[in-house]
Structure formats: structure tokens, C-alpha cells
Structure 1
Amino acid sequence: MAFTAVPERRRLGGVTLLDPERVDKGLTLIASSWGGTRVRLVDEAGAEVHGWDLPWPPGLGQTITSRGTLLANGKVRDDHPFLSGLPFQAGAIAEFDWDGRKLWEVRHSGHHHDGILLANGNVLLLGIGAVPEEIAARVRGGIGEPGATMWADTLVELTREGDQIWEWRSWEHLDPEVDVIGPGPMDREEWLHGNGIAELETGEILLSARQTSTVLRISRETGEITRRYGSGTLAGQHSPWITDDGTVLVFDNGFNRLDGAPPYSRLIEFDLETGEEVWRYTDPVPWELFSALQSSVQRLPNGNTLACEGLAGRVLEVTRDGDTVWEYVNPHMEFRAFQDSGVRSNRMFRARKFPRDLFRTAGVTLPESERGGTR
């Protein structure tokens, strides 16, 4: 079986830059989105502190809960008419204790990309459904055959026992004249392509819609879309992150920018109430930070911002002023077969950093080398 060449940049594994005085003191959760079943916690030096070997490939959204457990979305294949075989098909979400024991699992056909725990203890998943033809015909933008089936996102709330108690169908609340596919030549087969969700303290939901390059704010009570963040600014973004300052951060992928510049990615922050942009980070050489797909962003306790440049398998931490204080390149190359050949990659869907005190408060025993903080 033949292998494609691995780019030189991807051979640089582990920590390539560390400013011990300004880096946030935490442990970073990573997992390959290309294959494998291991989820890892790494410290500031890039050493693996702990890991979980899961019963299925994670590779999508995963996080550490306040109890010190791992919540992970898993890739469980079925014959869904749209998702089957696609790399963002999920199908399962589960919680695992520190020792890797599964505490519960929920499976749902149509689940893709992301799933979270709500404040009420239930599970919220990104799902998908077929858009009625009469609505699909009115949707503007995109490329493809007008008569083909169009798919759009749902939000599905389930108990941890798998009982469905609420569903939001996007096409019942979207405006075909406002929620336009684009910018750029995106496929009309999907109207939204949701890739991340988050819950506000009010119970409202934020949904990152890649195909329309907006983050939607959704009322749980009425289903109404009450605000669209980033319209006219974003280009195929990922990973909405709610900060303590009443803002939302996104990783703006930018593979389809219409401003005349080469494709480049950036981190952008919007005020939740006004929708105004309040901060952005762009690499000094803009296209040096670029991932057409995947990727994530997170505001850290010390005010820094963590970003995962997904397709490069790179995690960087920048200050408010734009200084890079930590860079980590995922050294774990996973193999995926394609017909008679295969590709090895270190790509990741997202990365998240967690303070050591979270684990101590949860009663988790960290390795002796980690108990005092940064190495």
C-alpha cells in the first residue's frame, strides 16, 4: 500500500515554543480527527499526563467536565442517507471516568460534529434532516442541482437514557432571503453545516453555521433565531466559545474569503448583546495561520486565547496583544486508507485547555510531576 509524503511541518512534533512566564498554567486535551481511539491530556512541555482509550474513534468534540470526567463525541457508523461515510458523522456521545470506565452513552442516528451537556443534565446533539422542497427552492446561494435533496441542521435534546424531549428544526426558523449560503462556492446540498454548539446562561443556544458563515443565537422557548453574529465578516467559521466577558469567540477558517487576499484564518470575538466585533487575532503573515476545515478557539483564565489550527495539528496560545506564548504540534500521526493508498495525518478537530485545579477539586489524582503546576 502506497503512502503520500508527510509535509515537513508535520514532522515537527511536540512543543516548539514556550514562554513559561506568560503561558496559561493548564493541561490541554487533544485527539486526532483522522483515526485512532486515544484522547490525551498534555502539559506545557508536551508530555502526556493522562489518556483514555475509547471504544470508538473520538475525533470530534470532546471536553473535561467539572467532575473531572471525559465527555466525548464518537464516530459510530450507520447507513444514514446523508451522513454515512462522511468524516464528520458521529452517532454517539458518552462520559468516561478518569480510569476510562464508560458511565453512560447515548446513540442517535443523524448526530454529527458536536454534542454537549446542558445545564439541566441532558444531552444536546447536532442532528440533521431533509429540508422540504418548497423551502429548499427559495434558499439563495451555493452550487449544485436545484432539484437535489437539501439537508439542514437540527438540535436534539435527549436524556442520558436516550429519550428525546426536544427538537429544533432549522428550516422552520431560517429565512431563505437572509440565511444565504456563502461566501464562496459552497455546495447547496447543505444549508447550514453546523459544526459547534454552546449553551448561554440564559438557556439559549449558539450554533456555528459554516455554510452561511454566521453564528446563530437560538431561543429554547420559541425556536426563534434572535441574532446572527459575523454576517458579512466570517467565512466558514468553527467552534463558538462563550467568554466570561459576555462575548463569543470563533475560529474564522477563511478558505473562501472574497476580499482578494489568499485564504487565511483568524480568531474573532463578538459582543453577545450588540454583535459588534471587539477583538481579533491574525498572524503577522496572515496565511501562516490557515486551516480550511475543523479548528477551534478558547479564552483561557489568564486572558490568553488558545487556538487549534486543525488541519495542521497545531495548537497555539496568544496573548491579548497577539504574542504567541505556546505552540504545540500534534506528534501522533494516524493512518487512513483510501482505495489502494493511504494518508497519515496529525489533524485535530479541536483542542481545549483545563486548569489543574479542576482535576484536584474533582478528586482526580494527577501524576506527581504535575501536582505543583508547570514543569
Structure 2
Amino acid sequence: MPNGNLLFRDRGSTPNSPGSDAIREIDWESDLVWEYRNTDLRRHCRLANGNNLFLCNSDEVIPPELTLRVQGGFSTPSDPERMGGDRVLEVTPDGSTVNEWRSEDQLDPQQHVICPLEGRAAWGGANDISTPDGTFLISFRILDTVAIADRATGKFKWQWGPGQISHQHNPTLLANGNVLLLDNGAHRRGLSSSRVVEVDPANNEIVWQYRGDSLVSFFTHFTGGAERLPNGHTLITEGMAGQLFEVTPSNQIVWEYISPFLARNQHGLNNGVFRAHRYGPDHPALSGRQLDPSRHGNLNRLYGSSL
């Protein structure tokens, strides 16, 4: 954050779940400044007015009659009578909810079809949210759809994706009005591979993309992201491989990093990185901060740095 604080989600007692127990804000000394608890939390944004926008995946909230009308997905005997749905909550600093958006009010059971390789426990599987002015940009992973919704009316102003992308992550609105996202490629027909695409919402045309030199050289089944940098390059997180790399508009890799940090989760021991952001030395959060890497010399030497 501009003041140097860190706003993050803490999985707490559910480390193997995509959701979280809490969103926490800590200061530079790692002291807790603020937190919000909700067991359905998935993503979050801090709004300009100081409120917070939370994306929640809520279980068994869609009425049975609507659940039966939703198309796609595979059925199992344990399917709930009510599908799960997605919620976007606007919450004040004191924890009061001042607005709630429900995905089932805007999704169409005939149009927004669940991937046939996904179950029917939930309709949407929203996995990311960001907040362009007066709207929010949301990603429905198992519907292969990204959409811009008006925060005042709740209605979609733009949506795109089926047949073009597969189980995407991290859509963001660029300064030129285009949308940048990671197209993970999971469950794509044919050889699974990932790419980063920039799409123009005015005509739904892909105006730029990055793929690996060979299709199998860039693939992250889930997690990951893409961020457009001030110099026009794109920072890409290949989540499952724990790899970060920066590419030019002509797709030349000019910097890369592979995380040496291992952790064990439901996928076993791995070096996965959920997402990365780059902050320049002139970022206000870094003003006056102690950034001498020698303070972390032992850690850097242990994990291969020459510092």
C-alpha cells in the first residue's frame, strides 16, 4: 500500500483451501493494523474511499430451482441441492457491509456454462477481482469468463472469454482500456499450455499475447498472473513452477527468477508462487525504508544470491 503497509489474505486454519479465514493489514514492523474475518474470503481490494471490496465464494447459496437450470459440469451423488455462488462485499473499516453483489443475479444459466471437467458444487468459481473506477473486473474461472460489472447497478457492462480462454486468473484493466490476464489453459482442448493475453473490450480482439517458445515451456494449471509494468514490459508469474519473468512487447525475456523456497501443501512439496508485483525504488511505500540487502545476507547466501 502507498503508506508501506501490507494488505494480505491469511488462510489461517484452512491452508489447503483456496479461501481464507481473514484479510489482514500489517505495518512495516509486521504489527497488526486491521483485520476482517470471513471464512468465505477469496480476494480483496482496498477502495479509494477507505472501504474494502471482498470477493467471497459461498457454499450452497443458490436456490435449488436455479441450481437445476445451470448448464455444464459433471454430476456426482454428493452434489448439494444448492450450488455455491460468488459474493462481492463492500465493507467499511469497522467491518460493516454496505453493499453486496451476488453472482447468480447476473449470470445466465444458459449462457454461463460450467466447464465439463468441473463439478457442480459451485456456479462461477470466481477467483479474482480488481476495481476500475465505478466498476469491478471479475474472473469466473470455471466459466472461462471475465466481466466488468457496474458497482452501482450490479449489471455486466462487458464480458468475454468462452472459447478464447480457459480457467484464467488475474484480469486487470490497463491504462489504454484493454484487459490483461493470464490464460492458464487448464482443461483446454488439445495440449495444455498457458499464455498471457491483452484483449480490447471495444471489439473483443486479442491485441497482444505471450506464449512460450514451445507450448509446453509455459504452463501453470492454476494460480499465477500478469502485470503490465511502467516501461511497457509485462511481469509474468508462472505460479506452479515458481518462476517469475519479464517480457518485452516483442516477447523477449529480459529477466527471470525461480523461487528457491519450498513449502508443503495439498500438492506436495513445491516452490509455487501465487502472484508477484514489482515496485520501483520511487514507490511511496519504500520512501525512507531500510532496503539494504546485506541485512538479509545469511538468507541471501543460503538461497543462492551473490550478495
| Shorter-chain TM-score above 0.5 | yes
Rounded to whole Å, the distance in 2 between the matches of 1:185 and 1:360 is 43
Q: Which residue of structure 1 aligns with residue 298 of structure 2? A: none
Q: Which residue of structure 2 aligns with residue 291 of structure 1? A: 220
More off after superposition, 121-130 vs 268-277: 268-277
Q: Which of 249, 253, 257 lines up with 1:328 in the alignment?
A: 257
More off after superposition, 139-148 vs 294-303: 139-148
Q: Which of 224, 231, 245 lines up with 1:316 in the alignment?
A: 245
Q: Which of 271, 281, 296 lines up with 1:346 in the alignment?
A: 271
Q: Matched residue of 1:284: which SS?
A: coil
Q: Which runs of 5+ in 1 are unaligned?
A: 1-64, 78-83
Asked whether 1:91 is paired with 2:21, we answer yes
Query: In the TM superposition, what whole-angstrom CA distance separates every residue of 1:71-104 from its partner, at most 9, and x where no partner exists?
Result: 1111133xxxxxx675212121122221212211
Matches within 5 A, 1:27-38: none
Query: In the TM superposition, what whole-angstrom CA distance separates every residue of 1:25-83 from its partner, at most 9, and x where no partner exists?
Result: xxxxxxxxxxxxxxxxxxxxxxxxxxxxxxxxxxxxxxxx1222211111133xxxxxx
Q: Which residue of structure 2 aligns with residue 142 of structure 1? A: 73
Q: Which residue of structure 2 aligns with residue 180 of structure 1? A: 113
Query: In the TM superposition, what whole-angstrom CA distance separates every residue of 1:205-256 from its partner, at most 9, and x where no partner exists?
Result: 0111101001111111111122112232010000112222211111101021
Rounded to whole Å, the distance in 2 between the matches of 1:133 and 1:124 is 28
Rounded to whole Å, the distance in 2 between the matches of 1:186 and 1:175 is 18
Asked whether 1:241 is paired with 2:177, we answer no
User: How far did 1:138 drift?
Assistant: 0.9
Rounded to whole Å, the distance in 1 between the matches of 2:202 and 2:6 is 32
Q: Which residue of structure 2 aligns with residue 215 of structure 1? A: 146
Q: Matched residue of 1:171: which SS?
A: helix
Counterpart amino acid of 2:164?
Answer: T
* Residues 1:132 and 1:365: Cα distance change in structure 2 (over 3 Å): same
Maintained 8 Å contact 2:2/2:285 = no
* Residues 1:350 and 1:85: Cα distance change in structure 2 (over 3 Å): closer
Asked whether 1:192 is paired with 2:113, we answer no
Q: CA RMSD in A?
A: 2.1
Maintained 8 Å contact 1:96/1:102 = yes
Asked whether 1:278 is paired with 2:207, we answer yes
Asked whether 1:228 is paired with 2:228, we answer no
Rounded to whole Å, the distance in 2 between the matches of 1:236 and 1:226 is 21
Query: In the TM superposition, what whole-angstrom CA distance separates every residue of 1:184-222 from its partner, at most 9, and x where no partner exists?
Result: 411111211111100012x10011110100111111111
Asked whether 1:73 is paired with 2:9, we answer yes
Rounded to whole Å, the distance in 2 between the matches of 1:285 and 1:324 is 14
Rounded to whole Å, the distance in 1 between the matches of 2:203 and 2:288 is 40
Maintained 8 Å contact 1:238/1:251 = yes
Q: Which of 111, 116, 136 lines up with 1:205 in the alignment?
A: 136
User: How far did 1:110 drift?
Assistant: 1.3
Counterpart amino acid of 2:292?
Answer: P
* Residues 1:135 and 1:85: Cα distance change in structure 2 (over 3 Å): farther
Q: Which residue of structure 2 aligns with residue 4 of structure 1? A: none
Maintained 8 Å contact 1:216/1:227 = yes
Query: How many residue pairs were aligned?
Result: 292
Matches within 5 A, 1:98-113: 98-112=28-42
Rounded to whole Å, the distance in 1 between the matches of 2:113 and 2:62 is 15
Q: Which of 152, 156, 170 lines up with 2:103 in the alignment?
A: 170
Q: TM-score, normalised by structure 2?
A: 0.89
* Residues 1:245 and 1:369: Cα distance change in structure 2 (over 3 Å): farther
More off after superposition, 305-314 vs 148-157: 148-157
Counterpart amino acid of 2:5?
Answer: T
User: How far did 1:131 drift?
Assistant: 1.1
* Residues 1:178 and 1:348: Cα distance change in structure 2 (over 3 Å): same
User: How far did 1:323 drift?
Assistant: 0.5
User: How far did 1:312 drift?
Assistant: 0.9
Query: In the TM superposition, what whole-angstrom CA distance separates every residue of 1:299-356 from its partner, at most 9, and x where no partner exists?
Result: 00111101111111111111100001111111011134x7xxx932111211111111
Rounded to whole Å, the distance in 1 between the matches of 2:104 and 2:236 is 31
Q: Which residue of structure 1 aligns with residue 302 of structure 2? A: none
Rounded to whole Å, the distance in 2 between the matches of 1:155 and 1:181 is 20
Q: Which of 352, 356, 370 lines up with 2:281 in the alignment?
A: 356
Maintained 8 Å contact 1:194/1:208 = yes
Q: TM-score, normalised by structure 1?
A: 0.73
Q: Which runs of 5+ in 2 are unaligned?
A: 296-306
